[in-house]
Every structure is written in structure tokens, then in C-alpha cells.
């Protein structure tokens, strides 16, 4: 078992109903499943792998070639975590040499839809964010 994860879900905060939203729902206490899942799916390597697998299944070497800057070990760890969480399916084909394909599961596909919404928001607001950064940096330099 991976350090920092539990075998069974733990209750750390209620995430429903939406009309009574509480930002503390992403509890930072050790053992909070929501926090652990968010940490896993929102890391930079997982986001890239999920985005790439949305198009089609890929072999390990294809993924490594497409994910700029990732080490072989980090890609292995990322794929293992995504597979454990039920987001990626690993298929070993009985050929010589062995061929292994990775694909999104139906659950992983729903996560990709959510990630795509975040990317769309980012693209729509990147100019505003750049302007806010420039204003902040200018104010900080003048202080």
C-alpha cells in the first residue's frame, strides 16, 4: 500500500450539498480521501497522461515520448497510481516482446471532461491573469 493512503474511504468533510459549499471540504488532515484523490489527479504528470490517453490508447514508450520532461520512473509511478485509482487500464498483450497499452477507463474519461473544462477556463482568462501578474509584480517592485 502506498504511504499516506488508506484501504477504505474515510470521512473528512461533507462535499454536498453544493448550496452549502465549504472550502474546508478538502481537508488537509492525514487520511482525507478527498484530499488524497485531488492531490493525485491534479499533479502535472497525471493531468498530461490523462489528456494524452483521452485521444487513444498508447504504449509506455509513446507516452514517454509525448510527456516532455518526465523520467521513466516517474511515468511508471504515475501510470501505476492512475491504474490503482481506476482511471487508467493497463493491457498486456501476450506477444514477444511483450506489448503493454494504457487507456482511460470510463471513470478516467469523466475526469478528462472535468480537466478540459479547467483548461477552457484557463485559456479564456489567461490575458486577465497575465495582466494581474504584471500589475502585482510592478507593485511589488515599487514597494
Q: What pTM, to 2 d.p., does this model score?
A: 0.71
Q: What is the pLDDT of residue 63?
A: 96
Q: What is the pLDDT of residue 90?
A: 97
Report helix angle 44-55 to 72-84, nearest 10: 70
For residue range 67-97, list pLDDT tens digits in order: 999 999 999 999 999 999 999 999 999 999 8
> What separation in angstroms does the CA of 69 have from each of 13, 34, 87, 89, 142?
36, 28, 22, 23, 36
For residue range 6-41, list pLDDT tens digits in order: 454 444 545 455 555 565 555 555 567 877 888 888
Is the pLDDT at 118 greater than 80, yes or no? yes
With pLDDT > 70 as the criterion, what percentage of the chain qualifies? Answer: 78
Amino acid at each position: 500500500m502506498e504511504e499516506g493512503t488508506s484501504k477504505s474511504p474515510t470521512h473528512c468533510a461533507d462535499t454536498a450539498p453544493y448550496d452549502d459549499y465549504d472550502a474546508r471540504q478538502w481537508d488537509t488532515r492525514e487520511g482525507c480521501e478527498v484530499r488524497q484523490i485531488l492531490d493525485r489527479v491534479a499533479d502535472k504528470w497525471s493531468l498530461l497522461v490523462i489528456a494524452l490517453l483521452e485521444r487513444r490508447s498508447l504504449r509506455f514508450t509513446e507516452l514517454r515520448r509525448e510527456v516532455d520532461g518526465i523520467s521513466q520512473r516517474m511515468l511508471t509511478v504515475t501510470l501505476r497510481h492512475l491504474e490503482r485509482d481506476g482511471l487508467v487500464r493497463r493491457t498486456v498483450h501476450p506477444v514477444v516482446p511483450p506489448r503493454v497499452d494504457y487507456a482511460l477507463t470510463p471513470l478516467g474519461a469523466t475526469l478528462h471532461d472535468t480537466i478540459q473544462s479547467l483548461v477552457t477556463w484557463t485559456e479564456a482568462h489567461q490575458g486577465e491573469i497575465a495582466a494581474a501578474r504584471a500589475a502585482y509584480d510592478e507593485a511589488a517592485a515599487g514597494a
